[in-house]
Amino acid sequence: MLRLLRIRNFAIIDGLELEFHGGLNVITGETGAGKSIVLEALGLVLGNRAETELIRNGCNEAVVEALFDLAKHPSVTARLEKQGIDLQKNDFELLVKRTIQRNGKNRIYLNDDLITLGQLADLCENLVDLCSQHEHQSLAKPIFQLELLDRYGGLGELRNEVRESYSALRSLESELISLKSKINNNESQKDFIRYQINEIDAVAPVENEDMLLQDEHRRLRNIGTIHEGCRNILDLTRNNQESQNGMGAFDQVGRIRQRLLKLAEQDAGLLELLPLTEQIQEELAQLANAIEAYSERIDGDPERLHLLEDRLTKINQLKRKYGSTISDILETRNRLSEKLEETANIEVLIHEKQAKFDLIRADYIKTASILSKKRQNVARTLKASVTKELTELRMPDTSFEIDFSRVDPESIGSVDGVDRIQFLFSANAGVEPRPLAKVASGGELSRLMLALRRTLGDRGGIGVYVFDEIDAGIGGQTGTLVGRKLKDVASHNQVLCITHLPQVAAFANAHYVVEKTTISAVTMSIVRHLDDKNRVEELARMLGGAQVTAKSRAHAQELIRDSSV
Higher pLDDT, 404 or 428: 404
Indicate the burial class of 254 (C-beta count within 10 angstroms; 0-12, 13-18, 19 or more): middle
The residues, any chain, with a CB within 8 Å of residue 496's CB and separated by 6 or more, are 2, 20, 25, 27, 464, 465, 466, 467
How far apart, in whole angstroms, are the C-alpha atoms of residue 129 and residue 43?
Answer: 10
- Contact of 514 with 29, CB cutoff 8 Å: yes
Say if residues 1 and 463 touch (Cβ distance below 8 Å).
yes
Residues in Cβ contact with 185 at an 8 Å cutoff, skipping those fewer than 6 apart: none
Cα radius of gyration rounded to whole Å, the chain:
49
Q: What pLDDT was estimated at residue 385?
A: 92
Output the pTM of the full model.
Answer: 0.62
Position 178 pLDDT exceeds 90: no
Residue 242, pLDDT > 70, answer: no
pLDDT-based confidence at 441, cuts 50/70/90?
A: low
Q: How far is residue 91 from each of residues 65, 74, 87, 148, measured CA to CA in Å?
A: 18, 13, 6, 29
- What gap in Å lies between CA 174 and CA 196, rounded to an integer? 32
pLDDT tens track for 79-88 = 778 777 888 8
CA angle 66, 71, 76 (to 5 degrees): 75
245 pLDDT exceeds 70?
A: no
Going by C-alpha positions, the residue among 467, 516, 469, 499 that lies closest to residue 563 is 499
pLDDT band at 243 (very low <50, low <70, confident <90, very high): very low
Amino acid at 470: I
Domains of the chain: 1-133+455-529 (3.40.50.300), 155-369 (no CATH), 531-565 (no CATH)
Category of 32 on φ-ψ map: left (φ > 0), alpha (ψ -120 to 50) or beta: left
Residue 245 CB-density burial (10 A; 0-12 exposed, 13-18 middle, 19+ buried): exposed
